[in-house]
Structure 1
Amino acid sequence: MIINEPPKNTEVEQQILGALIKDPTHSNSRETIDSLCDDDFFGMAHRLIFNEIKTMSENKESIDLITLDNNLSKKSDQYGGFVYLADMNKNTTGNYNLPAYVAIVKKCSQLRKLAKILVDASDMINQGAEPVEITEIIDNELKDAAVSSSGAELRHINTVEGDWLDRLDERMKQGGACAGLSTGIDELDERINGIGEEYLVIVAGAPSMGKTLFCQTLAANIGVDQKKNVMFFSMEMSEIELYERFVSGVGNVPAKELRAARLDAQAFGRVEVALTSLRTSGIHITDQPKQSVGQIRAKVRRHKLKNPDLSAIFIDYLGLMKLGKADRHDIAIGNITRDLKELAKEVKVPIILCVQANRYKAPMRPNMSNLKDSSCIEADADLIMFVHRQEVLEPETLLKGVTELIIAKDRHSDGNGTVYMEKINGKFIPLNVEQVARMQHEEENRLNPVPAKRGM
C-alpha cells in the first residue's frame, strides 16, 4: 500500500498552543483544552506541550512561558525548548479563532487514524490473518475513532418535546397496552411495561435453573405467537437441540417423549402443529460457538438491513462468548456488556443476554452479588431477572414445579418483584397466584413447624 504524507497542519497546531500559552483562562482556551487530547497533535513536541498545559490546567496551576518551560524541561528535552515556546506565544493571532483551529486539527487527527486502520488491515491481510479477525479488529478501531470525535452538540431539552409527544400518542393509541415489546407473560409485562427497544436485558441463573428455557419461551412468544422477527444465538446447544426444544414448547410435547420417539397419534398431531407454527414464525437461529461481540454485531447489522422489523436478539450465553483482550477478566466482561448495550441502542432492538450466576445455598434467593463480574453487568443492564427453582437446591421442598422470576433491577419502570411460573413441556407458563400462596404457606410450615402443645 502506498503511504502518502500523513494529514497534518503544523501552523494551526502552533497557533493553538501559542494561544493557550498567551491566555489559558480565556473561554475558548478552556474549551480547547477540554475538546482536544494530546494524540490529536501530529508532532511529539506539540503533544508534550499540550499534555503539560492540560495537566497544569487540571491542577489549577498558573500557566505562562516560564512555568510551562520549567515543567517541560523536567520531563523531556523533545518539546523544542524555551525559544520555541516563546515563538509560538509571540506569533499567535489570539484566542478568537480557536474553535476553527480545533476543527482543523480534529479533522487531520481523524484522517490519520483512518489511514492507520487501513494500513493495519493491509498488514493483517499480507500476514494471512482470518477475514473474521480482520473485520472484527477494523470494526472496533473504527468505533474507537468515531468515539474520539466530539460528536453532535447538545440540544436544548425542548427540542425533544415533539418526539416524546409522538411516543406518548402511540402509547395512548395502544389503549393501555405495554409500551415496549410484550414478553407474552402478562404479569411480567404489567410489572416492566414491556421491553424497551434499546434495552440490554440480563436473564441470570445458577446451573439447571432454566435460564435458557426461559429465553426460548420469550423467543417463542415473540417469534411464534406475535410473528415478530427474532435472532437467537445459541453457543451452548446445537441447532437440532435448540429446534427440538422449540418443538417441545410450541407443541406442548414433553421433551423426553421427543427424545425417546414415543409419540402417539395425539402427540404426533401436536408436533405437526409445532412444525407449522415454526415454519411461519420469525425466529432465526445460529449455533456457531464462541462468537465475539464483533461477529455478533456484524450478523445483527446484516440481518437488520434485510429485516428492518427485527424485534429481539437473544444470546445464550455470556460465559461462552469470545472475550476480547483486556488486563483482567472483569474488564473483558465489562467490554462485552458495554458493546452489547451500544449495539442495542444502534439498531434499536432489545438484546436479551443469558448470564451464569454463582451457586448459592437454600433458603437463599439469588441477588446481584450472585452475578459473576456483577459490577460491570449491573451497570450496563436496563433489566436484570433471575430464574430460580427451589427444588433444584432443596429436593424436599414443597415448592416443586414453582419457578420464580426475580426482577432484581428495572431501570425504567421500577417493576422489581417476583413473577411465578410453571415449567411445562419445554416452556414456562404463568402460575396461579392463589396456588403459589398456598404452597408457600405449606413450605413455611415445613421450615418452621409449630411446636405441638403438651397436655396437662
Structure 2
Amino acid sequence: MNEASRKLSPIGKDQADQHYREAPNNLEAEQALLGAILVNNDAYYRVSDFLKPVHLHEPLHRKIYEVAGDIIRMGKMANPVTIKTFLKADEKVGDVTVATYLARLAGAAVSIINAEDYGRAIYDLALRRSLITIGEDMVNIAYDAPLDMPPQGQIEDAERRLFELAETGRYDGGFQSFNDAVALAIDMAGAAFERDGSLSGISTGIHSLDGRMGGLQRSDLIVLAGRPGMGKTSLATNIAYNIAAAYEPEVQADGSFKAKNGGVVGFYSLEMSSEQLATRIISEQTEVSSSKIRRGDISEADFEKLVACSQMMQKVPLYIDQTGGISIAQLSARARRLKRQRGLDCLVVDYIQLMTGSGKSSDNRVQEITQITTGLKALGKELNVPIIALSQLSRGVESREDKRPQLSDLRESGSIEQDADVVLFVFREEYYVKNLEPRDEFDPKYEEWKMKMEQVKGTADVIIAKQRHGPTGTVKLAFQSEFTRFTDLADPSFTQYEEH
C-alpha cells in the first residue's frame, strides 16, 4: 500500500478506540452517593468538606448535589420531593422525567457507610480530569510557541496550576458564594479564640506589636522598611525565628498538619548568606555578641551556649534561600514547592530592591518594582500566608531635620505603598543622636546631648504607617544592638501606642 492510500484508508474499530478516550468519570458512583444523601441527609456531611458540585461529572448530578447541599445547610430535609421543585420540571433523563430519576436514585441508595468512599472516588476522578486539562493546555501551548509565553513562563504557569490543583482540588478560581466566605470568617474567629494570645493572625513573638496588629494576617503583604542601620533585617529575623520556634503542629482529618501556634517559615535572604543569618539568630538567642562569634573571641562557657543553642535550632522549621537577585517567578515557584514539601505559614523577603522582575530586563525600575510587589501580593493570596517584604527608604530622609520615615520615603514608592496591606517603618533615634555627639566633652551642649542619649538609648520605634485592618501609630520596643534583638520594653508604661 502506497503512502496516499494508507492516509485515506478508513479507521478500524480498534484504531477508533485508541484515538477516542472519554474523560475519567464514574456515573454509577455519583448516582450511589446522591441516592445515599437523598435517603439520609447525614451522608452529605461525610463528603461536603472535600467534595464540591464542580467535582461531579454529570451536569444534572452537579445541580442535584448543589441544591441538596443548600437545603441541608438551611436545616431542612432534602429528598426527591423537596429537591424536584428546584429543578426544571420538563427536563428529561433519557426517557424518564427528573422527578422519576430522583425517586430511582433514592430507591437504589447505598448505605451511608459507603458514602465517603464513593465521594473520594468521585473527587479523585475530578482531579484526573483537571490534570488532563492542564496537560492538554501544556501540549497545545508548547506546539503553538506563542511569543507572549516563552518555555520558562509556561513551566512557571504549569507549576502554579498544578500547585493550586494539589492544594484545593480545583484550579479554575472563579466566584465564591458569600455563604462560604462567612463560614471562613467564623472559622478564623474560632481559630483566634483558641490560639495563644487570642490573635487572629500569627504571633510575631513581640507582644506590643501583636497588640497593635492582631498578629500577621494570612495573605497580607507586610512591607518592613527603614534606612540602613535601623535594624530592619534584625526585626525580620527576630520575627521569623519567633514564629518558627513557636511552631506547634495539629493533625487534620485528612492526615495533613496545620500550625496551631507559630508556623513554618521561608526566608529569602538576598543580601546576607545563610551563615550570617544563622549567626545573627544564634547571637540573639544566646546573648553572645555576633561580632565576638565571628572573631572567635568567646569563652568556653559561651561556646557551650552556642552548641546547646545550635542543637535546639536544628528542630526549628525555618528554611533559608540565599539566592541573590532572584526573580519574582523563581521565588514564587520555590515557595510553592516549600509549601508542598514542608508546609509554609510565613514568608520573609530581604529585600525587595534586590529582586528582579519576571520579564525582560527593563530600564524602567519603577515598573519592575511594580511587577515584584504585585507578584508578592498575588503569591500571599495564592499560598494563604503573610509575606514580610523588606524595603529600602530613599536618601531624602537624611536631608530632613525630622528623620522619622513617611510613606513617601519608600523607594519607587507608588506600587509598594499601594500593594502593601501593612507598612512598618523601623526608626532608631539613638542611631542619629549618637552621630551628633560633641567632640569636646566640656562643650556646654555635651550635657544636653548626654541627656538626650540616655532617653533614646536601647529603644526603637516601629511606626505602623499603613494598616488595612487596623489603626496606625507607633510601637516602642527595646533594641539590644550587640545581640541584634528587638523585644518588648521592660517598663510597660513605655509600650503605650502613640496614635497618628
TM-score by length of 1: 0.63
1:118 corresponds to 2:142: yes
Aligned to 1:303: 338
Unaligned runs of 5+ in 2: 1-133, 165-170, 249-262, 437-451
Name structure 1 gaps, 5 residues minimum: 1-109, 126-132, 441-456
Alpha-carbon distance between aligned partners in 1 of 2:230 and 2:414, rounded to the nearest angstrom: 22
- Asked if 1:403 is matched to 2:460, the reply is yes
Task: Confirm or deny that 1:315 pairs with 2:332.
Answer: no
Match of 1:211 in 2: 232
Which residue number corresponds to residue 232 of structure 1? Answer: 267
5 Å-filtered alignment, 1:81-160, equals 117-119=141-143, 134-136=151-153, 138-139=155-156, 152-153=174-175, 155=177, 157-160=178-181
Shift of 1:247: 1.3
Distance 1:181 1:342 in 2: 19
2:174 counterpart SS class: coil
What SS does the aligned partner of 2:223 have? strand
Aligned-pair CA distance for 1:134: 4.0
2:270 is the counterpart of 1:245: no
1:162 is the counterpart of 2:204: no
Divergent runs of 4+, >4 A? 110-116, 120-125, 140-144, 433-437
Correspondent of 2:470 among 400, 404, 413: 413
Whole-angstrom CA distance in 2 between matches of 1:327 and 1:427: 38
Distance 1:254 1:337, change over 3 A: same
Give the counterpart letter for 2:480 in structure 1: K
Q: 1:365 maps to what in 2?
A: 404
- Name which structure has the greater RCO, CA cutoff 8 Å, separation 6+: 1
Q: What is the CA-CA distance between 1:158 and the residue it aligns to?
A: 4.3
Asked whether the equivalents of residues 358 and 372 of structure 1 are also in contact (C-alpha less than 8 Å), the reply is: yes
For residues 311-333 of structure 1, what are the alpha-carbon distances to aligned partners after superposition, in whole Å with 9 as ceiling and x for unaligned? 11111111111234457321211
1:349 aligns with 2:385: yes
CA contact (8 A) 1:208 1:392 kept: yes
1:168-179 residue pairs with structure 2 within 5 A?
168-174=189-195, 177-179=198-200
**Separation in 1, partners of 2:189, 2:173:** 28
* RMSD between aligned residues: 3.3
Change (3 A) 1:289 1:175: closer
Q: Which amino acid aligns with 2:403?
A: M
* Deviation per residue, 1:150-190 (Å, 9 max, x gap): 962463x3453333223223333347611100000000000
Q: How many positions carry a matched residue from both structures?
A: 317
Contact 1:338–1:380, Cα closer than 8 Å, also in 2: yes
* Contact 1:140-1:294 within 8 A present in 2 as well: no
- Corresponding position: 1:426 with 2:484: yes
Tell me the residue number matched to 2:289: 254
Secondary structure of the residue aligned to 1:376 is: helix
Residues 239, 285 of structure 1: 8 Å contact kept: yes
Q: 1:200 aligns with which of 221, 225, 245?
A: 221
TM-fit CA distance, 1:417 = 2.5
Say if 1:120 and 1:254 are closer, same or farther in 2 by CA, change over 3 A: farther
Amino acid paired to 1:161: V
Residue of structure 2 aligned with 1:388, choices 424, 427, 446: 427
Cα 1:166/1:365, change in 2 over 3 Å: same
- Contact preservation (8 Å) 1:220, 1:250: no
Quick one: which amino acid aligns to residue 240 of structure 1? E
**2:277 partner letter:** L
The answer as to whether partners of 2:231 and 2:484 remain within 8 angstroms in 1 is: no
Aligned-pair distance for 1:119?
3.8
* Residue among 173, 184, 194 paired with 2:205: 184
In the other structure, the counterpart of 1:333 is 369
User: Per the alignment, do residues 401 and 137 of structure 1 end up closer, same or farther by CA in structure 2, a change over 3 Å counting?
Assistant: farther
Shift of 1:367: 1.0
How many angstroms does 1:223 deviate by?
Answer: 1.3
Give the secondary-structure state (helix, strand or coil) at the position aligned to 1:314.
strand
TM-score, with structure 2 as normaliser: 0.57
Residue in structure 1 matched with residue 94 of structure 2 by the alignment: none
Q: Residue 245 of structure 1 aligns to which amino acid in structure 2?
A: R
Q: Pick closer, same or farther for the CA change 1:338–1:369 going to 2, 3 Å.
A: same
